[in-house]
Chain A
Amino acid sequence: MRRVLTVLLSCLMVFPALAIDPIEMSDPVLQERYRNLSHELRCMQCQNQSIADSPVGLAGDLRREVRQLLEQGKTDQEIRQHMRDRYGDFILFRPEFSPRNAWLWITPILLLLIGLGVAIRIIRQRVTLAPSDPSNPDESGSSGVRDRSV
């Protein structure tokens, strides 16, 4: 039973190995950068796939474009910018900071700060309350009532 299961499960592992893009670049360093970049760029036609995973024509064209830019000696950042100039932030799976998406980056930090502020206030209240009533071990149960009195 276990052996059968092993065989069946290993069948599942075959699929990720299927390559959409059979073209290899001559230089292994470029090939590695190409592999990374093509996983970072979104296929605009089927939006939840990278251009490395997408079989549609446009993804193939964009892969060719990336290869050409790599061969021209462009840096990864230049290639990302090249794509961004044409297709906008949306083509990058990891968007970069820009005035338009600033709130996306700032909101989590802001929320964290608000949370910290609230937490500090509550802790302070408890600290100042604790000595006033040291005989009562049931602090948490009645804290709601006390908060109101402060």
Chain B
Amino acid sequence: MKRFLLPAFFFALLVVILFVGIQRAPQKTIIPSALIGKSAPSFTLPVLGSTEEFSESAMRGRWYLLNVWGTWCPECLNEHEMLLEIARSEVIPMIGLNWKDEDSAAMSWLSQLGDPYDVVAVDREGEVAIDWGVYGAPETFLVDPCGIVIYKHVGPLNREIWQKQFLARLPSKGSGS
């Protein structure tokens, strides 16, 4: 009987490993950001519909969201209502990063659907997006007052994700703007 103990143990181990693998399979397409806990990559980009420029250093000392979007991205349309809701709650300022898009299309999108962003920075060539490790819109980053990336969500936001992953990470009161 004793001789079956070791094989049985390894079999049980294999079952556990495979079970965990199957359980986690749906998350396989979501790759954790390499930036978590590191400084947000700096950038200076033109502001949508303006001659001004925006730099992420302007947000130092405040919590903020960076939302990567484009009018070509269907999931961005899906999360837009949620973004408007977040903006209305005035919990935290939201910076838009308009990724590889046309300025005119982006402006008509915002005027038709509503504008949840405090500022929209335009990344036409996608260079800043690479620095931020963006691989698919929409992506939303949470950055703390020291400019450290705290969290990143890939895919459209909904109320549950917003409360569990973002609000829960914010200090309970008096944050943001």
Contact = CB atoms under 8 A, between A and B. Distances in A.
Given A88-B31, A90-B31, A65 B127 contact: yes
Contacts of A97: none
- Majority secondary structure, A binding face: helix
Given A57-B100, A58-B126, A61-B125, A88 B133 contact: yes
Contact of A86 (B3, B32, B34, B126): B34
Contacts of B34: 84-88
In this complex, the interface size class of chain B, counting residues with CB under 8 Å from chain A, is 10 to 19
Contacts of A57: 100, 126
Nearest to B100: A57
In this complex, the interface size class of chain A, counting residues with CB under 8 Å from chain B, is 10 to 19
Contacts of A65: 127, 130
Contacts of A47: 29
Interface in A73-100: 84-88, 90
Interface in B27-68: 29, 31-35, 41
A147 B129 CA distance: 64
B126 A87 contact: no
A64 B136 CA distance: 18
A129 interface: no
Interface of A: 44-45, 47, 57-58, 61-62, 65, 84-88, 90, 147-148
20 contacts: A44-B31, A58-B126, A61-B100, A61-B126, A61-B129, A61-B130, A62-B130, A65-B127, A86-B34, A86-B35, A86-B41, A87-B31, A87-B34, A87-B133, A87-B135, A88-B32, A88-B33, A88-B34, A88-B133, A147-B3
